[in-house]
Amino acid sequence: MPDHLFPVLLADIGGTNARFRVLEDPQTEARIFETVAVQDFDTIEEAINGVVIAAGGARPRRAIIAAAGPIRADGMDFTNSPWEVRPEPFLKKTGIEALTLVNDFAAQALALPVLADEDLVRIGGGEVMDGRTKVVLGPGTGLGVGQLVRADGTWVPVPGEGGHVDLGPRTDWEAAIWEHLDRVDGRVSAEQVLSGRGLVNLYRAVCKADDTPPLFHDPSHVTTAALAAHERREEDHTTLTVQLFATCLGRVAGDMALTAYAQGGVYLAGGIPTRILPFLTEGPFRQSFEDKAPHGNLLRNIATMVIKADLPALCGLAALAREPDSYAIDLARRTWTV
């Protein structure tokens, strides 16, 4: 059976970076390879051959790939990069015998039951209830959202496109900023604010609303300046931007918690939450998360956490490879063989 083939190549493909591990057998730790930029390779097969196969060692017989994009009968196109996966040429070009494709936030969700306490940073109160639905949100290149539901003794990952829900202002100050946000087909989705490019979009709008030219055009520069100002206990356009980002992230996280009734907790993944952690633990995130009248009490009882573990999607793929029977996921429809 393909789900028992080892070694297994685990791949987490984002819009910016590609990350690879090889799991030689169910008991050992995965072999780690360097993170590479998607833009440095024309295709995913070139990246795998150039990074994993060229490094030598145990050659993968199976690949489990997590990436943003819908999975179809002919493979997938990645949402935020020019790469694609077409199973027949993929298997031929890499020499791998079996390929399984998983939505990137289904992979993030798969990791939630195996994360240890030291992998998480709590924000505010609430309780994680065993065996209850969990939600994960990840602002990065885009805004990914996934759920993990417990049913009949197994975990069921539920991917979705929650990052594209509408996001609107709630105060006059926010309304003034919203006038200057870049839109997609006339609307502001959550991803237009809660992502790397969204952070820059928000910063420019904050500056325009105050009739001030923006100084930064890269999300890392905005967060670096905001963290430095935060350390000095100063307020400027970058701190206002990151505070508003945290506010909006709390609102959307609260919406997802209500939608899924996520008594198993809400988890924030990706590089942005760990980078702006002081703005989440000390700022408006938790208040915005709970501000959901008439269900404020319900939200106060739901725990919120930042995942600080490295590459949780790969942890989820490893858990799936080691114990496929612990997850109710239809691998047959997502797997191709030679």
Query: CA-to-CA distance for 177 and 158, rounded, in angstroms?
Result: 34
- What is the C-alpha separation between 199 and 201, in angstroms, rounded? 5
pLDDT of residue 1: 43
Those residues whose C-beta lies under 8 Å from the C-beta of residue 91, and which sit 6 or more positions away, are: 97, 98, 99, 336, 337, 338
Q: Could you tell me the CA-to-CA distances from 227 to 223, 271, 278, 316 in Å, in that order?
A: 6, 15, 8, 31
- Domain ranges within the chain, ordered by starting residue: 2-103+312-337, 116-307
* pLDDT the model gives residue 51: 96
Please tell me the CATH code under which domain 2-103+312-337 is placed. 3.30.420.40
Collapsing DSSP states into helix, strand and coil, what is residue 116? coil
pLDDT tens column, 198-212:
999 999 999 999 999
112: left (phi over 0), alpha (psi -120 to 50) or beta: alpha
The Cα-based distances of 69 to 40, 83, 138, 139, 203 in angstroms read 20, 11, 15, 16, 27
CATH 3.40.367.20 fits 116-307, yes or no: yes
Per the DSSP assignment, residues forming a β-bridge with 84 are 77
The pLDDT assigned to 89 comes to 96
Of 55, 61, 7, 48, residue with least CA distance to 29: 7
SS3 245: helix
Q: ∠ at Cα 294 (292, 300), nearest 5°?
A: 55
Token pair 């100063």 is found at 234
Task: List, in order, residues 6 or more apart from 120 with CB less than 8 Å away.
Answer: 267, 305, 306, 307, 308, 309
Question: Residue-wise over 103-137: b if at least 16 C-beta within 10 A, else e?
Answer: bbbbbbbbbbbbbeeebbbebbebebeeebbbbbb
CA dist 320 to 72, 107, 278, 313, 325, Å? 20, 9, 33, 11, 8
| Partners of 307 in the β-ladder | 120
**Spans of the chain below 50 pLDDT:** 1
How would you classify the pairing of strands 266-268 and 134-139?
A: parallel
Whether a cis peptide bond, with omega within 30° of 0, leads into 113 is: no
